[in-house]
A and B are shown apart, each in its own frame.
Chain A
Amino acid sequence: MNLFLIFISAAVVNNFVLSYFLGICPFVGVSRKVSSAVSMGLAVIFVMAISSVFTWLIYHLILVPFHMEILEYVAFILVIASLVQLVEMFIRKVSKPLYDTLGIYLPLITTNCAILGLALFSVLREYNFIESLVFGLGAGAGFTLALVIMAGIREELDMAPVPKYFQGAAITMIVAGALALAFMGFAGLISI
């Protein structure tokens, strides 16, 4: 399958947040302001791209040759957790402004199911090295898109007269539902 299709498919057609429900926690937690949503999105794209590369290498160069696929989940989560830690230290050393922007969002990413989901989907769909990387970038872009749109809506929502019992989490879910409905419009675009 061509790389462009993988990217578009991961970013909009099968959006990680709105059709796979991956990364819902940050989607609900960090979507209050557009500016923080953008920072979080950038951090996720960054970690997704790196982790898709590393999990691919670990799976195909270590787990498969030694017939240890059963350790897949343990290995992936360890790689992701240590990778996030490393990325955080690296950014702090190299670029202070970038660290200040992404800083607090980086540790949160370890428990973002989208990162592990990405690794699992890559294995399931038997992507090669380059395809995994593109899939990671696409999924990150899709996550950022959904997060920023949601933040934009929630900023407006603060001024809207929401019924009493729907305030907070409930209305966020309803809005996400409407958004998911809108994204289903992309469904006919390509099929995998």
Chain B
Amino acid sequence: MAKKQISIWQEIVKGLWRENPVLATLLGLCPTLAVTNTAVNGLAMGLATSFVLLSSSLFISILRHFIPHQVRIASYIVIIAAFVTVADRFLAGFFPVISQSLGPYVPLIVVNCLILGRQEAFSSKNKIGRSLLDGIGMGLGFSLVLIALGMVRELLGSGSIFGITLLGEWFEPWMVMILPPGAFLTLGFFIAIANWINDRRATA
């Protein structure tokens, strides 16, 4: 590895903010926008994606010396697709309601650019332990943003969080927040807030 080794702790933490997949690198936006109409859906999608990311990072890191360079992308996609099938069957078997509401977005984890991106940029070049840590950090960062988006949209769109009603009768729900336009608007504001925080930290 050409660059300097960073500490194990930083390997995890970088996924949370500095290289956060959604807010900083804008990877994996399809599920981010599509399934965050409630906090539960965001949580489920975050966990499913983290599982696939972690398993495929582990696998690809183990196999990194055996996969020929020319067919690496195809090999990664097949490995990812296999783990997505596992996650999909698991959700359908144990959490049928969540599986129903996520619909085709579970299989679509296959083409989540976040996962392929991490394999290409990290797991294929790093040792197993580090690849796992990277996967944990990225998965956690991704899940946290998804849950936060889900909470904000659910609160504004139906006055509840995780299905528990928080705002009383007086609250007129913003229907638009749980519909597609709300996803774009909320994410737009999230990115702007992240920019603002980064800017303040840079000048401070």
Q: Which of B104, B180, B187, B196 contacts A184 (CB 8 A)?
A: B180
Cα-based distance from A184 to B183 in the complex (angstroms): 13
- How many residues of A are in contact with the other chain, CB < 8 A? 44
Q: Which of A28, A70, A110, A177 contacts B185 (CB 8 A)?
A: A177
B26 within 8 A of A: yes
Cα-based distance from A20 to B185 in the complex (angstroms): 15
- How many residues of B are in contact with the other chain, CB < 8 A? 42
**Contact present for B182 and A173 (CB under 8 Å):** no
- Asked, given contacts A70-B89, A124-B104, A177-B185, whether A170 binds B116 with beta carbons under 8 Å apart, the answer is no
Q: In the complex, which residue of chain B has the Cβ closest to the Cβ of A74?
A: B81
Point out the residues of chain B lying under 8 angstroms from A184, CB to CB. 179-181
Name the interface residues of A86-121: CB closer than 8 Å to any CB of B.
110-113, 116-117, 120-121
Cα-based distance from A111 to B109 in the complex (angstroms): 11
**Contact present for B104 and A120 (CB under 8 Å):** yes
**Contact present for B111 and A120 (CB under 8 Å):** no
Name the interface residues of B98-129: CB closer than 8 Å to any CB of A.
103-104, 107-108, 110-113, 116
A186 within 8 A of B: no
Point out the residues of chain A lying under 8 angstroms from B77, CB to CB. 77-78, 81
**Contact present for A170 and B189 (CB under 8 Å):** yes
Cα-based distance from A124 to B103 in the complex (angstroms): 9
Cα-based distance from A39 to B113 in the complex (angstroms): 22
Q: In the complex, which residue of chain A has the Cβ closest to the Cβ of B199?
A: A165
B192 within 8 A of A: yes
Within the complex, the shortest CB–CB distance from B41 to chain A, in Å, comes to: 13
**Contact present for A170 and B30 (CB under 8 Å):** no
Point out the residues of chain A lying under 8 angstroms from B108, CB to CB. 22, 113, 116-117, 120
**Contact present for A22 and B191 (CB under 8 Å):** no
**Contact present for B29 and A25 (CB under 8 Å):** yes
Cα-based distance from A111 to B191 in the complex (angstroms): 23
A73 within 8 A of B: yes
Cα-based distance from A163 to B199 in the complex (angstroms): 14
B interface majority secondary structure: helix
Q: In the complex, which residue of chain B has the Cβ closest to the Cβ of A15?
A: B180
**Contact present for A169 and B30 (CB under 8 Å):** no
- Asked, given contacts A77-B77, A165-B196, whether A111 binds B111 with beta carbons under 8 Å apart, the answer is yes
**Contact present for A77 and B185 (CB under 8 Å):** no
B34 within 8 A of A: yes
B74 within 8 A of A: yes
Cα-based distance from A65 to B146 in the complex (angstroms): 39
Cα-based distance from A146 to B196 in the complex (angstroms): 29
Cα-based distance from A181 to B112 in the complex (angstroms): 25
List 26 interface pairs A-B (beta carbons < 8 Å), by A numbering: A21-B30, A21-B180, A24-B30, A25-B29, A25-B30, A25-B113, A28-B26, A72-B85, A73-B88, A77-B77, A78-B77, A81-B74, A81-B77, A110-B73, A111-B116, A113-B30, A113-B108, A113-B112, A120-B104, A165-B192, A169-B188, A173-B185, A174-B184, A176-B184, A177-B182, A177-B185
- Known pairs A72-B85, A73-B84, A177-B183; list 17 more (Cβ under 8 Å): A19-B180, A21-B31, A21-B180, A25-B29, A71-B85, A74-B81, A74-B82, A112-B111, A113-B108, A117-B104, A117-B108, A169-B191, A170-B195, A173-B191, A178-B181, A180-B181, A184-B181
Residues of B that sit less than 8 Å from A by CB: 26, 29-31, 33-34, 73-74, 77-78, 81-82, 84-85, 88-89, 103-104, 107-108, 110-113, 116, 176, 179-185, 187-189, 191-193, 195-196, 199
